[in-house]
Chains A and B, each alone.
Chain A
Amino acid sequence: MSVAQPLPHDAARLHVTGAARYVDDIPTPRGTLHLAFGTSPAAAGTLTALDLDAVRESPGVVAVMTAADLPFDNDVSPSNHDEPLLATDAVHYLGQPLFLVVATSHGAARRAARLGRATIEKSTPILTIAQAEAADSRFEDGPRVYARGDVDAGFADAPHRLSGVMEIGGQEHFYLEGQAALALPGDNGDMHVHSSTQHPSEIQHKVAEAIGQHMHAVRVETRRMGGGFGGKESQGNALAVACAIAARATGRPCKMRYDRDDDMIITGKRHDFRITYDVAYDDAGRILALDVRHDTRCGWAMDLSLPVADRAMLHADNAYHLPAVRITSHRWKTNHQSATAFRGFGGPQGMLGMERIVDHVAHALRADPTAVRRANFYASGGDISGQKIQTTPYGQEVDDFIGHEMLARLEETADYAARRAAVDEWNARGGVIRKGLALTPVKFGISFTLTHLNQAGALVHVYADGSIHLNHGGTEMGQGLFQKVAQVAASRFGVPMEAVRITATDTAKVPNTSATAASSGSDLNGMAVRNACDTIRERIELHLAQLHQCRPADVVFKNGRVTAGGADYSFAEVAALAHQARISLSSTGFYKTPEISWDRIKGHGRPFFYFAYGVAAVEVAVDTLTGENRMLRADILHDAGASLNPALDIGQVEGGFIQGAGWLTTEELVWNDKGALRTHAPSTYKIPACGDRPEVFNVALWDGENRADTIYKSKAVGEPPLMLGIATLMALSDAVASCGEAYPDLHAPATAEQVLAAIHRARGA
């Protein structure tokens, strides 16, 4: 069976040889036009005039469009209809598209776009949390508050109490392939769009609105993305819509891709957060009451900020049982790029807040943070011995917790106790280089919190020669979804992988899909494909059972053969046989996640089908004179349930961990006081590279299966490992803490300068 095999990514060879086709590689028809946006030079104000004469006269320019030229809806928002494709009068951030240039080449369009002259009556931009709070510039009418237990009583009775504030920076997605779209106009108003998107159905929806058509006139196709990370969930809308509008206006194919600087300046990023906490705890570090406040800058448009900020609240407990807790979340509207989905979708920020609190408590007690973590863990899922199952602050039962077992295993395999002693001994010598070690857990909820998104469709054809055409609503962004789902299909039919052809995501094949997001790709689409395959297989079984006088259940699909009542066929023979018997060899499949329900206003319910777990132990070294730091070793144990493909899953764990560590160390977004993003290229914004990974890097998968009934008992693996990177920041905090008595109060990202400042704080300087 192909499921559970560590097969390479289906397109690995194409990726590394450059033969894999991305949107910008698709051969375009003659006469294809190219697009570029002219963008706002100011972060806030009123657009009073737009002089585009020089743009129109620039060589190669075919058309120039402003908001006034848009035929229908001027909106590319995924949620709130508050994101005009092109600014009308108000300007909301520096980099906001003001006009659209359509030209004969990419270069001509970009050059011309620079020649626009916008007159903007500037107003004072709202950039900081303080400014937003003063102006009450926010999304929703007030903060969301989720609470349970008597927080005030918890504080009143507690033996210890402390408070603190942590700043957490945002993060640029830095997908290798930038945003891109290509629109090919058809007859009768039809539009065929190739888009580098995680959400083809949304592209279809927004394009239809923008060109005044129903969704049936728009077909969106996505073969693959060169990375998405959430950055292509809503951020691709602008390009696809612009291409469709220009294609409709000119009758010619239109293509748009952002240059890297434009991409970073125009598109949204991970939300930055400030976490303010007040915590009561006992002598063992057990948390008795917690009052935590989240402040996040959402940028100019609502986008996905509400569910992102909700998910931060839903992970404010991480792996710890909090008897009395109040989580207050403020979503500030500021004059920045619209902060958007990013791997973890707010979960990492909420979880980091909690890990910081535990770290602070451990420091105050002079206790080993790992002991404090363990003391606060949820009870083991298997061990409910008559007691009530513990619940999260939002009322979901934690019945599958395996943190204790995973922590114990990792302590053993990573030789934690001995290394803890060695690090302490090293630091006791008081040298310039200090070491730090931390072991942090991840508990991440799997499902879209917007319940209706938890559905997926698939379309499977078996051709008369036994080859299989596979299609589903999930998109491939390098994560290996297509391969995992193909393994499911091959397993259902008992055929080798070569029999299954993976095809581009296409709204004409599977409609009304959800974004490939929330780590749900394999869970949802794997199930939908299974259901489609099983429908076809059952039809074949019935036919063969009749033919050979056996029970349908006795028909066996295995190793490319099908046996029934003593007969033995190749799968191709069976397909031909079924075709001759006029049996339909094509089926759709559908799946919806069971058992979930969620009230986001009350903050109560079961938003998640299950939790995915992980633990990471990271050792770092810090130069206390400069703050320079690096990881020395990382040991990871991650729970992918019964893995559909351990090779791909380990790849996701490695990549997720490194991306998380990058977020918390070197990836620093800097805006100046005018709201201009100063870090908009790899020369100023540092993502981790191969050389930044720890020299010793041990990644293993936990060998349990999912308790929930998921596809082959596997677990989602896209987002959870990112949060393993929190161990890196906590290890840095540990190293810095060895420099003095005070709490280091380390903020993220822990750049060298930030670490040095924390060292000064630890020393009480």
Chain B
Amino acid sequence: MYNFDFVKPATVDEAVKALADDEAQALGGGQTLIPTLKQRLASPSKLVSLTGIAEMKGVSKQGDAVVIGGGTTHRTVAEEAASAYPGLADLASRIGDPAVRNRGTIGGSLANNDPSACYPAAALGSGATIVTNSREIAADDYFQGMFTTALEEGEIITEVRFPIPQKSAYAKIAQPASRFPLVAVFVAQYGDGVRVAVTGASNNGVFRWSEAEAALSGNFAADALDGLTVASDDMIGDLHGTAAYRSHLVGVMAKRAVAAAS
């Protein structure tokens, strides 16, 4: 490690002020940021921990949405969203390992937008709203390619609002070593149609599979996806799997999610 300042504000306002410094960066659970610092891929002079901000924590049901504070850990979501939005809770329960789930937060995951992260699939697949200290951003506008989001410098995700679907499920094939998705698909059925979001597959990060959405909106059944494929051109090909394998898995995971949806 190297030397940096550390502050732990108690309110969002204080955090926003602390982040106004040029070289400051927000710290959630540190499950991504701390390793990044250790590898010297980032070197902020000040870390602003968000873990002491009570107003950014917790899970609540508000009308037909589940609202999750930006500083809520994966484990808390897994436990407390289980009755209101089981598909989302199940996704959270399968992120990484217990240590990661006890520390990592939804805000950190969405801010990071790793192309293989789980939460982006849930947010995009639910048409969630990302609420920050200054505005509300629709998921469709929020994800802008791998590791890129609509967030401005110093902007904090304070909560995420997930409209509750009639049915949903998350199907994930894990890369066996890290447990990150090799490919995963989140499917959610709403009154006005079905959303299908794919993570782990594309070089452009999480994306909606619109052909699948159209097919499923007409007939919410796994075999409605028969014959549909995603092109492998933009798929990630790396040490864990080829692009062709990933594009194949998108179809399989989508069907698996539909079949499992409840």
Contacts and interface: CB of A to CB of B under 8 A. Distances in A.
A628 B248 CA distance: 13
Contacts of B240: 684
B178 A683 contact: yes
A683 B177 contact: yes
Contacts of B255: 625
A184 to B, nearest CB: 30
Contacts of A684: 177-178, 239-240
B97 to A, nearest CB: 10
B176 interface: yes
Contact of A756 (B176, B239, B248, B256): B248
- Name B's interface SS: mixed
Given A679-B239, A753-B241, A753-B245, A628 B173 contact: yes
B169 interface: no
Interface string B206-242: 0000000000000000000000000000000001111
A628 B176 CA distance: 10
B177 A685 contact: yes
Contacts of B245: 753, 756
Interface in A77-118: none
B252 interface: yes
A699 interface: no
B177 A682 contact: yes
Contacts of A679: 239
B249 interface: yes
A666 B173 CA distance: 14
Given A678-B239, A753-B242, A753-B245, A666 B176 contact: yes
Given A670-B239, A679-B239, A753-B242, A686 B177 contact: yes
A626 B177 contact: no
A679 B240 CA distance: 10
Nearest to B253: A626
- Name A's interface SS: loop
Contacts of B249: 626
Contacts of B239: 668, 670, 678-679, 684
Interface in A735-765: 752-753, 756
A626 B173 contact: yes
Interface in B165-180: 173, 176-178
Interface centre among B176, B178, B241, B245 (most CB of A within 10 A): B176
A682 B241 CA distance: 17
Nearest to B248: A756
B252 A625 contact: yes
Nearest to A683: B178
Interface in A638-683: 666, 668, 670, 678-679, 682-683
A238 B229 CA distance: 52
Nearest to B251: A625
A626 B178 contact: no
Interface string B70-108: 000000000000000000000000000000000000000
B252 A626 contact: yes
Nearest to A627: B245
Nearest to B240: A684
Nearest to B238: A678
B94 to A, nearest CB: 13
Interface in A619-640: 625-626, 628
Contacts of A753: 241-242, 245
B252 A686 contact: no
A685 B176 CA distance: 8
Contacts of A625: 252, 255-256
Interface string A345-386: 000000000000000000000000000000000000000000
B121 to A, nearest CB: 17
A420 B177 CA distance: 32
A684 B238 CA distance: 11
Interface string A542-553: 000000000000
A623 to B, nearest CB: 9
Nearest to A628: B173
Nearest to A624: B252
23 contacts: A625-B252, A625-B255, A625-B256, A626-B173, A626-B252, A628-B173, A666-B176, A666-B177, A668-B239, A670-B239, A678-B239, A679-B239, A684-B177, A684-B178, A684-B239, A684-B240, A685-B177, A686-B176, A686-B177, A752-B173, A753-B241, A753-B245, A756-B248
5 closest Cβ contacts across the A-B interface? A686-B177, A686-B176, A670-B239, A678-B239, A625-B252
Interface of A: 625-626, 628, 666, 668, 670, 678-679, 682-686, 752-753, 756
Given A625-B252, A626-B252, 19 more contacts: A626-B173, A628-B173, A666-B176, A666-B177, A668-B239, A679-B239, A682-B177, A683-B177, A683-B178, A684-B177, A684-B239, A684-B240, A685-B177, A686-B176, A686-B177, A753-B241, A753-B242, A753-B245, A756-B245
